[in-house]
Amino acid sequence: MDTLHLLFIILLTFWFSTIPVAFLTLTRLIRNRKIFVEKDLRRIHNDPTIIFQITTRSATKITVVERGVYSIINAAIKINYSNYKISIVTEDEDDKQKFEHLKNCEIVMVDKKYNTNAIKKSRALQFAVENRRKNREDTSKFWIFHMDDESYVTKQTLLSLLKFIREGKGIASEGPIVYPLKFELANPITALAESVRPFGCYDCVSQMKNPPPLHMHGSNLLVRSDAEDLIGWNFGSTLAEDQLFGYKLYEKYGKKALGWHGGILLEQPPLNIKDHFMQRRRWILGSLQNIDKFPFWHRFKIAFKLTSYFMGFISGIATTILYVITFMSMLPASIQILVDQNISNPMVWAQYIISSFFPSSFPEITLKINEMASNNSIYPIDIGPVSILLLFPYIMWLLSYQIGLFLNLKHTKKYPLSKKIILHIQAVFLSLVLGILETFPAFCSIIEYSLRNRRNAIKKIHNYDFYVISK
């Protein structure tokens, strides 16, 4: 058995693991499709107090923050809701002057001397918790809605939040996030690659309704203030504080504490490939930093997910190589047969070309090609049967990008229908590139984490750099 065949057999193990995952993905898509987006949007006037918290380094320098602030104000006006406050948690003194004229808007300055166990964004989140405690806003009468710099609230978002609070189905909930903002300004590849994230929110529904969640969004997160005050954000050196927060909520309040409000939040994709890579890198490193803080079964599920993410890159590269080797080894034999037999029928040519790429498509033709290839001392790997077995997960993978892209484009008015159709076609043809782009950060980050862990074992350094992407 040569090296190529051995590699093929090893990869089969990981390829076949995608089959049950694909079935699980389809199940969650079907089961959660009706509650994914909240549609019962009746306005009932028994308004709780919602504090819309935007945690940022600077609302003045990061201009999209202002867009998010006015989205809250405009959405509230549309539904005649006034019992709210916008809390901008920032480190920039200039933000005070920029927003001081706005009603119901406060600037929470994170003291530069503030010392706590948390780092980076979690440090600011913990400061905000303690600030609310001083203002006596740490009771069950207040709800905190967490937003990122670029988050944009709609009328549907706000009505969904009010409904969830009114029905009293939990103390924390999330909703879907879509990425139409600045879509046309982003790198075309990263914009298309972001299609997988809205589709991933179908899994988020199951995570939140069947906790503990393996992951949780740090934005579009609604939490009752007293619960956030009790849990806090003092989780030490981690880049994925939202993941730990979700588990701590489950641990303290049980399964019924978490839910799904179904309010859509609009955000934007990474604007360039470096930002795309560094964003995914932060997710992976954060999960690796957190993993030893969970019990065994939860740790196992996170490890399996990260391993699948890691192997996705290897499988993508290996699949490409194997297909190219098979195609390039069988194609010359196919052409030789067609030329020798003086065949000019385009349909027959198409069958031979397809057989070169998918050997199981036309068995009789494949047999002829193999005989010719053998005569030329070429012994291609027949990956046709494997292709058929993996057809379902492959279709689900393509479908995930198509559904996610549809959700992103649905909320942008920048493109006409013809442009949207072209983008969907591009996503199909670029699927392999998008898959490799999505999994490459996991491949690099897991290797990086392993190497850095060995180097920093003695010093016990776990504070990885926190890269801030462009907005």
String of DSSP letters for 340-371: HTT---HHHHHHHHHHHHSTTSSHHHHHHHHH
> Under a CB-based contact definition with an 8 Å cutoff, are residues 90 and 73 in contact?
no
| Residue found by looking up tokens 């918790």 in the block | 129
d(CA 50, CA 82): 10
Residue 379 has a pLDDT of 47
d(CA 459, CA 148): 33
CA dihedral 225, 231, 237, 240 (to 10 degrees): -70
Strands 221-224 and 172-174: antiparallel
Strand partners, 172: 223, 258
Residue 358 has a pLDDT of 62
> Under a CB-based contact definition with an 8 Å cutoff, are residues 88 and 60 in contact?
no
Q: Which two tokens stand for residue 252?
A: 């303290």
User: Which class is 37-271 in CATH?
Assistant: alpha beta
Q: Residue 212, preceding bond cis, omega within 30 degrees?
A: yes
C-alpha torsion sign, points 279, 255, 310, 299: positive
Residue 370 has a pLDDT of 66
> Under a CB-based contact definition with an 8 Å cutoff, are residues 381 and 5 in contact?
yes
Alpha-carbon 330 to chain mean position: 39
| Residue found by looking up tokens 């969640």 in the block | 213
Please report, in tens digits, the pLDDT of each residue of the chain (471 residues total). Answer: 456 556 666 666 666 667 777 788 888 888 898 889 988 888 888 889 999 999 999 999 999 999 999 999 999 999 999 999 999 999 999 998 888 888 899 999 999 899 998 888 999 999 999 999 999 999 999 999 999 999 999 999 999 999 999 999 899 999 999 999 999 999 999 999 999 999 999 999 999 999 999 999 999 999 999 999 999 999 988 899 999 999 999 999 999 999 999 999 999 999 999 999 999 999 999 999 999 999 999 999 999 899 888 888 877 777 777 666 666 666 666 667 777 777 777 777 677 666 666 665 666 666 666 666 666 544 455 555 555 666 778 788 889 999 999 999 999 888 999 999 999 999 998 988 899 999 999 999 999 888 877 666 555 555 566 777 788
DSSP state letter for 377: T
Phi, psi of 86 (to 5 degrees): -105, 120
Strand partners, 253: none
List the one residue out of 186, 199, 200 whose CA is nearest residue 273: 186
d(CA 330, CA 9): 20
3-state class (DSSP) for residue 226: helix
d(CA 64, CA 96): 16
List the one residue out of 272, 215, 218, 217 whose CA is nearest residue 247: 215
DSSP state letter for 50: E
3-state class (DSSP) for residue 222: strand
Query: What predicted TM-score, i.e. pTM, was given to this entire model?
Result: 0.87
Residue 366 has a pLDDT of 67
d(CA 166, CA 47): 8
Residue 4 has a pLDDT of 56
Q: Which two tokens stand for residue 272?
A: 């360039």
d(CA 86, CA 134): 17
Residue spans of the domains in the chain: they are 37-271
CA distance readout (Å), 71 to 36, 78, 290: 22, 11, 34
Burial (CB count <10 Å: 0-12, 13-18, 19+), residue 418: exposed
d(CA 86, CA 93): 17
Residue 452 has a pLDDT of 77
